[in-house]
């Protein structure tokens, strides 16, 4: 570790209290895809306070940004923040199940957690900047704000709009979420392709259903059989596509097709058909060809559902993201620095929180409550061999994340640092709120943030200072793409759509009651439970 890298590590320790408070702030915002207004605004102000030039609304996305800081001509290194959460995961930073103050469990919350992911990126960025200033290191830092990762939202848009062009390297961190990807770097098997789309069913002319009824005083008689409409189309689409999912996809290899109903109804209590209904699909598969095949089948289902229910259908893209491109030279650089930093260390206060959670769940608290893997490093090639054991030989990509779009524009390393995860007795599975809470409690999440920030800064400084290393990662990128960006093996951006910001994405609203989730907390809290019979 050279003097600039030591300065960066010391800088991160000097702002550890700030990073902790900032992580908690973003965690408690708990904003979800395309609606991360407070989170984005906070990052923009923080970056400007540290002399970064910031473009707000980058790529036409209101909650995205692109920030730059330069210390003279030199390499351009990319880092980023994510800050979106997930609806239905509102968990307070407490060792028991409870929503954040004034909200219901249905509100948004951080699961991965992106609150810690983004803050690790920011910590690494500011430490790199501090070292560049102190040691006169030339180069430029680019830091993008990436909303809506949970629907693979911003990175395909940013890629197509040129925000990753001109980068010499990109550093991509994610909290550990599956074995063996814990305190390691991806080697060959990067994440796969992901397509997401919204099918909107619209019933424009429901009265046409009964045009032949001469006795009806109005085109659609209130006493007549109810006409089909958008809800009927949505349910037909849901059922036929559910059957498709179960018959078309194998149950191994990390494939998935999932759906979420965004809008349903728009009808009164009268017997009028629903005018509008929307359903979103997320397709996670190893290859773009598979994503196209499934999309074709979903399109057929949507057309059939619209035809039988008197509706028209529109398809709107949410995401089309590419599979990832490996870069061993980048992985080696990050792995060397991860070894320098070591795995996160959880102190007695964090151990106390973990034991309290176990006790609250009726378990006997463990002396060492965290998974052993959280304390250990696993080298990238060993992790690769373990990951490959569950995959067929032909499958080159597994799971999905839209960092993959970055890999086609700059040599990229994807690394994972352990988030706190608890040991469990045989046969016991922790409820999801436990991971969410551990991702928000400062004692338990701060070690991950600090470790990832240090690895990010050390790797960025290595790339800024070592021209030989930079040439090596670029040479591998050019080889794998057949000549760099635009080469004969390069995969171009798939985004040919506008950011889908206009849809009714779940969000926080301001009401006379104050800040509330779009499903009113007061209504849910005071609802009447109906008997089952």
Sign of the Cα torsion 145, 45, 461, 454 reads negative
Task: Give the pLDDT of residue 228.
Answer: 79
Sign of the Cα torsion 445, 446, 447, 448 reads positive
| CATH tag, 194-321 | 3.30.70.360
Measured CA to CA, the distance from residue 65 to residue 81 in angstroms comes to: 10
Q: How many residues does the chain have?
A: 533
pLDDT in tens, 229-272: 888 999 999 999 988 777 766 555 567 888 888 877 666 556 67
Measured CA to CA, the distance from residue 155 to residue 319 in angstroms comes to: 9
**Banded model confidence at residue 533, pLDDT cuts 50, 70, 90:** very low
> Which helix (DSSP H) or strand (DSSP E) does residue 5 occupy?
helix 3-14
Mean local confidence (pLDDT), 414-434: 96
User: Running DSSP on this structure, what letter comes out for residue 324?
Assistant: P
Measured CA to CA, the distance from residue 153 to residue 498 in angstroms comes to: 11
Task: Give the pLDDT of residue 224.
Answer: 55
Is the pLDDT at 212 greater than 90? The verdict is no
**Banded model confidence at residue 397, pLDDT cuts 50, 70, 90:** very high
Task: Give the pLDDT of residue 265.
Answer: 65
Cβ contacts of residue 423 below 8 Å, gap of 6+?
366, 368, 369, 370, 371, 372
pTM of the model: 0.93
**Range with lowest mean pLDDT among 135-144, 361-370, 513-522:** 513-522
Residue 421, Cβ density class (10 Å: 0-12 exposed, 13-18 middle, ≥19 buried): buried
Three-class secondary structure of residue 173 per DSSP:
strand
**Banded model confidence at residue 219, pLDDT cuts 50, 70, 90:** low
pLDDT in tens, 308-350: 988 999 999 999 999 999 999 999 999 999 999 999 999 999 9
Measured CA to CA, the distance from residue 382 to residue 180 in angstroms comes to: 9
Task: Give the pLDDT of residue 262.
Answer: 86
pLDDT in tens, 30-50: 999 999 999 999 999 999 999
Measured CA to CA, the distance from residue 428 to residue 408 in angstroms comes to: 41
The CA angle 86-235-274, to the nearest 5 degrees, is 95
Tokens of 399: 């799971």
Cβ contacts of residue 111 below 8 Å, gap of 6+?
85, 86, 89, 432, 435, 436, 439
The CA angle 85-16-417, to the nearest 5 degrees, is 55
What HEC string does 48-65 produce? HHCCCEEEECHHHCCCCE
Q: Name which CATH class applies to 3-189+323-481.
A: alpha beta
pLDDT, the chain, mean: 92
Tokens of 287: 């290859």
Mean local confidence (pLDDT), 404-411: 98
| Structural domain spans, the chain | 3-189+323-481, 194-321
pLDDT in tens, 131-171: 999 999 999 999 999 999 999 999 999 999 999 999 999 99
Task: Give the pLDDT of residue 453.
Answer: 98
Measured CA to CA, the distance from residue 402 to residue 408 in angstroms comes to: 11
DSSP-assigned beta bridge partners for residue 261: 279
Looking at per-residue confidence, does 474 or 219 come out higher?
474
Mean local confidence (pLDDT), 371-376: 97
Residue 365, Cβ density class (10 Å: 0-12 exposed, 13-18 middle, ≥19 buried): middle
Is the pLDDT at 182 greater than 70? The verdict is yes
Whether the CB-CB separation of 241 and 281 falls below 8 Å is answered with yes
Looking at per-residue confidence, does 206 or 508 come out higher?
508
- Please give the distance of CA 275 from its chain centroid, rounded to a whole number: 32
| Beta-carbon count within 10 A of 415 CB | 24
User: Running DSSP on this structure, what letter comes out for residue 323?
Assistant: P
Number of alpha helices (DSSP H) and beta strands (DSSP E) in the chain:
15, 13
- Please give the distance of CA 428 from its chain centroid, rounded to a whole number: 27
User: Running DSSP on this structure, what letter comes out for residue 373?
Assistant: G
């Amino acid at each position: 570790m050279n003097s600039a890298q030591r300065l960066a590590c010391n800088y991160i320790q000097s702002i550890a209290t700030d990073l902790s408070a900032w992580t908690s702030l973003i965690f408690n915002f708990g904003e979800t895809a395309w609606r991360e207004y407070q989170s984005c605004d906070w990052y923009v102000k923080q970056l400007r306070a540290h002399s970064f030039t910031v473009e707000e609304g980058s790529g036409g996305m209101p909650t995205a940004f692109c920030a730059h800081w330069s210390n003279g001509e030199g390499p351009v290194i990319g880092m980023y923040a994510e800050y979106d959460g997930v609806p239905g995961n509102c968990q307070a930073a407490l060792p028991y199940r409870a929503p954040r103050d004034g909200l219901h469990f249905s509100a948004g919350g951080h699961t991965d957690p992106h609150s810690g992911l983004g803050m690790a990126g920011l910590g690494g960025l500011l430490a790199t900047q501090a070292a560049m200033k102190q040691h006169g290191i030339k180069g430029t830092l680019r830091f993008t704000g990436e909303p809506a990762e949970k629907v693979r939202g911003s990175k395909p848009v940013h890629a197509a709009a040129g925000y990753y062009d001109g980068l010499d390297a990109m550093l991509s961190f994610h909290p550990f979420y599956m074995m063996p990807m814990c305190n390691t770097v991806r080697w060959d098997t990067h994440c796969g392709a992901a397509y997401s789309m919204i099918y909107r069913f619209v019933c424009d002319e429901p009265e046409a259903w009964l045009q032949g009824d001469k006795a009806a005083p109005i085109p659609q008689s209130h006493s007549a059989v109810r006409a089909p409409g958008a809800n009927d189309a949505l349910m037909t689409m849901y059922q036929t596509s559910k059957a498709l999912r179960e018959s078309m996809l194998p149950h191994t290899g990390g494939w998935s097709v999932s759906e979420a109903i965004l809008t349903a109804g728009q009808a009164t209590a009268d017997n009028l058909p629903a005018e509008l209904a929307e359903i979103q699909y997320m397709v996670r598969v190893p290859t773009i060809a598979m994503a196209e095949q499934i999309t074709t089948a979903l399109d057929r289902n949507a057309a059939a559902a619209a035809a039988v229910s008197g509706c028209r259908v529109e398809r709107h893209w949410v995401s089309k993201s590419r599979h990832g491109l490996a870069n061993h030279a980048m992985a080696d650089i990050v792995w060397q620095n991860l070894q320098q930093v070591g795995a996160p260390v959880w102190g007695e206060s964090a151990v106390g929180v973990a034991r309290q959670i176990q006790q609250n769940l009726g378990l006997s608290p463990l002396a060492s409550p965290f998974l052993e893997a959280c304390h250990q490093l696993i080298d990238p090639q060993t992790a690769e061999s373990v990951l490959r054991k569950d995959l067929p030989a032909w499958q080159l990509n597994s799971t999905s994340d839209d960092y993959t779009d970055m890999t086609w524009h700059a040599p990229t390393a994807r690394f994972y640092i352990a988030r706190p995860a608890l040991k469990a007795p045989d046969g016991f599975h922790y409820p999801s709120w436990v991971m969410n809470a551990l991702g928000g409690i400062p004692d338990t999440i701060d070690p991950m943030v600090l470790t990832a920030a240090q690895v990010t800064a050390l790797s960025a400084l290595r790339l800024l200072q070592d021209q030989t290393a930079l040439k090596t990662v670029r040479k591998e990128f050019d080889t794998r793409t057949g000549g760099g960006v635009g080469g004969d093996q390069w995969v171009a951006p798939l985004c040919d759509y506008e950011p889908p910001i206009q849809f009714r994405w779940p969000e926080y609203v301001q009401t006379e009651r104050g800040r509330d989730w779009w499903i009113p907390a007061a209504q849910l809290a005071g609802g009447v439970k109906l008997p089952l019979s």
